[in-house]
Structure 1
């Protein structure tokens, strides 16, 4: 009888341990280089997908930290997160992803809103990248962006682009824009802004040199895009953007991704890893779906009209 009692106690203890392990919440640590609507939407989309797949309440520990636009803080956050040993680290935008990947070679890392993950040295290849890293790229169709600007400005000769030369994603996008612009006979005028405080100066340097200003998917520029918008209004130069969230902040128009949906697409990858897949066996995904946002009020302030053909196909009109 005593042996039977001991055996029964052992079974109960095993079941209790198993139950405790099952009750352990999934721990997803999330970081972004800066807080602005597009990157915030990515974070929210990731969490929504986790919730939709049953990771919610006591079943999920979800943390978020912003690097406030500073790479050195991104590195500090990455080291802290590695020390916390979460199940997965999600890094939003190129600088945060680079900091996280360089700090860690074992904890699964899923990046999001990264324009060129190969140039950023996050993965060696997009197909089954190996190692502990995979994610989602938001490389934009820059040809489509230039074609949109040309609809507004038929005699378009030069487009000004403020950008941060220290952001790999921005440099990659600028290179892609130059290739398409040359084919279309459009001159690209660069203006560097290494810090958010430099954005207005960079925009002002484009006055008298360009017919339009294009703000790429550049975290430094987007975090201070209101400065570019002010220059556009004062100088009567229309401002366009590479992400649709910037239209509500003053850009005339943008064709681009819904970043909440991009977050949901990223969340699908996170769920796959939580369910047991290895990051290195999951192909890096390319963002899907595009929207067209327009802002008639800002178009008027910048001395330009929105073509009827653009209005008729707009996904959203910012009133």
Structure 2
């Protein structure tokens, strides 16, 4: 009889109420966000937070500002032990909606500039997380090896805070690098041809920021830029995979793992504001030599040696 009770309890455990409820909201379906989610779950599993004891509720906004607000509001009312937001737009929506549960974000380029946190050392609120910020000076150093040109275009999407933050950071470096930084707004996919037409003859290189609109049309931007012999650069690794010539990037899975470590601390009772926000300490140079050849650019041997990954 006693053995039957024990067996019944074991069988019933998977359908029992979970000890922890964790909501995860992804901004869109671009590869870096999914890779980040995988890293997050790996880290949480390693810390002992796994199903069925921990219930995970994953939602995808598919780049919709309406959807991201609706999902964030639903999570706010869902009695979650933790809400994880992946991507700056997702994190901004969650930070605005979720006040009674801790929030951990990931793949947020600059959480302070985006208004999500007050400071990197302490958010001053119910958030903490892992940033996808990489070295803009290092990216400009790579571009110096590819072109002596002094006019840099930056393709960004107005209203996407991470994208706007990247523009501001490059503008702040313009004097130090003797550059003229030209902001090239791209509000929708249909504007790609007109945006690149403005860039042709006006810039020597363009940086593609991490907006969802830019991410959806990377291939088209690269094709038009290569035809005009404009060098393309980025701080997003998946953009290089889609054709951008050079990137100074972070590993999205590693960013997810870092966020997962912070999430585990929060689930054990730590206040998010007591956990510093961090970016990865290392970034990698990634080269796309297919695009270099299509653009007619000779990549110096020193730059090839500096690359952690080369797409032939």
Write the distance in 1 (CA, Å) between the matches of 2:95 and 2:195: 31
Deviations 1:58-84 (A, max 9, x none): 233223222111211110110111222
| 1:78-93 paired onto structure 2 within 5 Å | 78-93=72-87
Shift of 1:147: 0.9
Q: Which runs of 5+ in 1 are unaligned?
A: 1-14
Q: Deviations 1:141-178 (Å, cap 9, x if unpaired)?
A: 1111111111111x122111110121222222211111
Alpha-carbon spacing, 1:183–1:130, altered in 2? closer, same or farther (3 Å): closer
Q: Structure 1 residues 197 and 112 mapped into 2: Cα distance closer, same or farther (>3 Å)? A: farther
Contact 2:42 2:257 in 1 (8 A): yes
Could you state the TM-score of these two structures normalised by the residue count of structure 2?
0.90
Corresponding residue of 2:229: 236
Match of 2:119 among 125, 142, 152: 125
CA distance in 1, matches of 2:62, 2:210: 17
**Equivalent residues in 2 for 1:5-24 (5 A)?**
24=18
- 1:306 maps to 299
Structure 1 residues 246, 76: closer, same or farther in 2, change over 3 A?
Answer: same
Higher mean alpha-carbon deviation, 242-251 vs 231-240, is at: 231-240
The offset of 1:223, in angstroms, is: 3.0
Instruction: Return the TM-score normalized by structure 1.
Output: 0.88
Structure-1 separation of matches of 2:193 and 2:56: 36
Deviating 4+ runs (over 4 angstroms): none
Aligned to 2:59: 65
| Consecutive unaligned residues in structure 2, runs of 5 or more | 1-8
In structure 1, the residue matched to 2:284 is: 291
Q: Which residue of 2 aligns with 1:5?
A: none
Distance (whole Å) between structure 2 residues aligned to residue 194 and residue 139 of structure 1: 22
> Larger % of helix: which?
1
Report the alpha carbon displacement of residue 35 of structure 1 after superposing the two structures with TM: 1.4
> How far is the alpha carbon of 1:200 from its aligned partner?
4.3
Q: Which deviates the most, 33-42 or 215-224?
A: 215-224
Report the aligned-residue RMSD.
Answer: 2.3
- After TM superposition, the structure 1 = structure 2 runs for residues 242-253 of structure 1, keeping only pairs within 5 Å, are 242-253=235-246
